[in-house]
C-alpha cells in the first residue's frame, strides 16, 4: 500500500523507449498492492499501471504471474493485461527492479461487501479456476500447510504477547489440521489472496480481479475457503450466512463443488483462517523500522478460526444441499 522505490522521470523515459505507448502524459505513485510499488501511468495511448517488483517478490516467479494474467485475460477474465515491449517481453528493469506495465482496470474495491457482491466474487473466482485449468506454468503454494509449522515457529515464542494462550491454541489447531487436511481435492491455479481490496466493482457489477502475486497451484476449494474468511464476516466478527450462501452459490453457478470438496470445506476454512492468522501474527511481531505499512491485527483471524471450529458440515456456511 505504498511506493517503496523512487522512479525519476529520466529513468521512466528510458524504460518506456522499449514500449509503443507514445509520450508520457502523467506518472503518479499510487497506494495499491501489498508488496510492490505501483504507479499510474498515462500515455498517449491510454492509462496503465506500472509495477516495480520489490524484494518480497521472487523474480523467478514473475513469468508465472505475468503469464497467468495474459492467460486469464485471453480467456476473458477481467484482469490487468501485461503490455508487451517491442521485443515481445512483458518484463523489463526500472530503478534496479523487475518492472511490468499492465492495462488500467476500472472499478472500485469495497470495504463492506454486500451479499450481491459476494455472489459476484464467488462467480469470478470460479471463472478464474476454470480459465486457469490449461495454464502451462505451475507454482507451488509457498504458504501451504507444509509451511505453517515453520511460520508458527518464527512467532511461537512471542505469540502470547498478542493474546494469552495463543501459542497453545495455534499448536493444537496445527496438529488437528495436519491430521485432517484433505489431500485428494481437485487442484489448479488459485488466486490465494482474493480479499475485497483485490476485487473491483463499477456500481453493482464486478469489473475485474487484481493482484495475482500470491497465485499458485493448490486445491481449488481452499481458494473458496479463503474467500469465505475474507468476504463473509461482519466487522464485529459474526459470520454472515447470507453472504456465505451468495458466495458459494455464485461459485457453484459456474463450478459446482464435488462431494469431497463439500465435506472438506469446514477444515479448509479452518486452514485458511490459520494461514492468515500466522502471517499476520508474524507481521505484527516483526514490523521493520521505518515501515510504511501498519500490520493488520492477527486476532481478527483467531476469531474466524474459532467460528470454523464450531462448524460440522458445509451446509452451516449456507452451502445449498
Q: Pseudo-torsion of CA 212, 217, 223, 226, nearest 10°?
A: -70
Instruction: Confirm or reject binding of residue 8 to its own copies (CB under 8 A).
Output: yes
| DSSP conformation class of 111 | S
Which residues touch 289 (CB under 8 Å, ≥6 apart)? none
Residue closer to its own copies by CB (options 110, 249) is 110
If DSSP codes are grouped into helix, strand and coil, which group holds residue 224? helix
58 binds its own copies (CB under 8 A): no
Comparing CB distances to its own copies, the nearer of 180 and 296 is 296
Question: Minimum distance from CB of 110 to its own copies (Å)?
Answer: 5
Q: How many CB atoms lie within 10 A of CB 156?
A: 16
Q: Is 296 in the site for its own copies (CB under 8 A)?
A: no
Minimum Å distance from CB 161 to its own copies?
Answer: 19
Question: Which residue number, 19 or 176, has a Cβ lying nearer to its own copies?
Answer: 19
What is the Cα–Cα distance from 163 to 306, expressed in whole angstroms? 14
One character per residue 9-28, x = contact with its own copies (rule: CB under 8 A): xx-x----------xxxxxx
- The position carrying cell 482474493 is 194
Nearer residue to its own copies within complex by CB, 133 or 294: 294
Among 60, 76, 88, 112, binds its own copies (CB under 8 A): 112
Quickly tell me which residue has 509495477 as its cell: 51
Q: In the window 203-242, what residues touch its own copies (CB under 8 A)?
A: 203
Cα of first residue to Cα of last residue in the chain, in angstroms, is: 40
Closest Cα partner for 273 from 310, 226, 312? 226
Considering only 18, 19, 21, 30, the residue that binds its own copies (CB under 8 A) is 30
Q: DSSP code of 289?
A: T
- Closest to 207 (Cα-Cα) out of 15, 101, 78: 78
State phi, psi for 149 to the nearest 5 degrees: -60, -45
> What minimum distance in Å lies between the beta carbon of 204 and its own copies?
10
Q: Which is nearer to its own copies, 32 or 173 (CB)?
A: 32
Binding range to its own copies, per CB under 8 A, among 105-113, 139-147, 155-163, 304-312: 105-113
Between CA 174 and CA 267 the distance in angstroms is 11
Decide: is 261 part of the binding site for its own copies (CB under 8 A): no
**Is 34 one of the binding residues for its own copies (CB under 8 A)?**
no
Closest approach of its own copies to the CB of residue 40, in Å: 6
Q: What are phi and psi of 279, to 5 degrees?
A: -70, -40
Select 106 or 160, whichever has its Cβ closest to its own copies.
106
Q: Rounded to whole angstroms, how far apart are CA atoms 318 and 55?
A: 40
Closest approach, Cβ 94 to its own copies, in A, equals 14
Nearer to its own copies, 34 or 254 (CB): 34
Out of 5, 34, 35, 40, the only residue in the binding site for its own copies (CB under 8 A) is 40
CB burial of 40-62 (b: ≥16 within 10 Å; e: otherwise) equals ebbbeeeebbbbbbbeebeeebb
Give the range of 224-232, 257-265, 288-296, 309-317 binding its own copies by CB under 8 A. 288-296
Residues forming contacts to its own copies in the complex (CB under 8 A) are: 1-3, 8-10, 12, 23-32, 40, 42, 104, 106-112, 200, 202-203, 290, 292, 294
Amino acid at each position: 500500500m505504498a511506493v517503496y522505490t523512487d522512479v525519476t522521470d529520466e529513468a521512466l523515459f528510458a524504460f518506456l523507449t522499449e514500449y509503443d505507448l507514445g509520450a508520457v502524459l502523467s506518472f503518479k505513485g499510487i497506494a495499491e498492492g501489498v508488496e510492490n510499488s505501483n504507479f499510474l501511468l498515462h500515455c498517449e495511448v491510454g492509462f496503465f499501471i506500472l509495477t516495480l517488483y520489490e524484494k518480497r517478490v521472487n523474480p523467478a516467479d514473475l513469468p508465472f504471474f505475468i503469464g497467468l494474467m495474459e492467460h486469464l485475460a485471453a480467456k476473458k477474465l477481467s484482469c490487468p493485461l501485461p503490455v508487451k515491449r517491442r521485443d515481445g517481453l512483458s518484463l523489463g528493469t526500472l530503478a534496479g527492479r523487475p518492472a511490468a506495465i499492465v492495462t488500467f482496470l476500472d472499478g472500485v474495491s469495497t470495504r463492506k461487501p454486500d451479499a450481491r457482491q459476494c455472489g459476484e466474487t464467488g462467480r469470478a473466482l470460479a471463472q478464474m479456476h476454470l480459465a486457469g485449468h490449461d495454464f502451462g506454468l505451475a507454482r507451488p503454494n509457498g504458504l501451504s500447510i507444509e509451511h505453517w509449522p515453520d511460520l508458527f515457529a518464527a512467532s511461537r515464542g512471542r505469540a502470547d504477547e498478542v493474546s494469552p494462550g495463543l501459542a497453545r491454541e495455534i499448536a493444537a489447531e496445527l496438529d488437528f489440521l495436519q491430521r485432517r487436511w484433505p489431500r485428494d481435492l481437485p487442484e489448479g491455479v488459485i488466486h490465494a489472496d482474493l480479499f475485497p481490496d483485490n476485487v473491483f466493482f463499477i456500481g453493482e457489477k464486478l469489473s475485474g480481479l487484481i493482484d495475482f502475486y500470491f497465485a499458485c497451484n493448490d486445491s481449488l476449494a481452499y481458494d473458496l475457503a479463503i474467500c469465505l474468511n475474507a468476504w463473509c464476516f461482519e466487522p464485529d466478527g459474526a459470520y454472515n450466512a447470507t453472504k456465505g450462501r451468495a458466495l458459494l452459490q455464485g461459485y457453484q453457478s459456474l463450478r459446482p463443488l464435488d462431494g469431497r470438496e463439500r465435506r472438506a470445506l469446514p477444515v479448509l476454512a479452518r486452514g485458511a483462517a490459520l494461514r492468515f492468522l500466522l502471517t499476520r501474527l508474524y507481521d505484527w511481531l516483526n514490523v521493520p523500522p521505518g515501515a510504511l505499512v501498519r500490520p493488520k491485527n492477527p486476532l481478527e483471524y483467531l476469531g474466524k478460526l474459532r467460528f470454523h471450529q464450531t462448524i460440522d458440515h458445509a451446509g452451516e456456511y449456507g452451502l445449498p444441499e
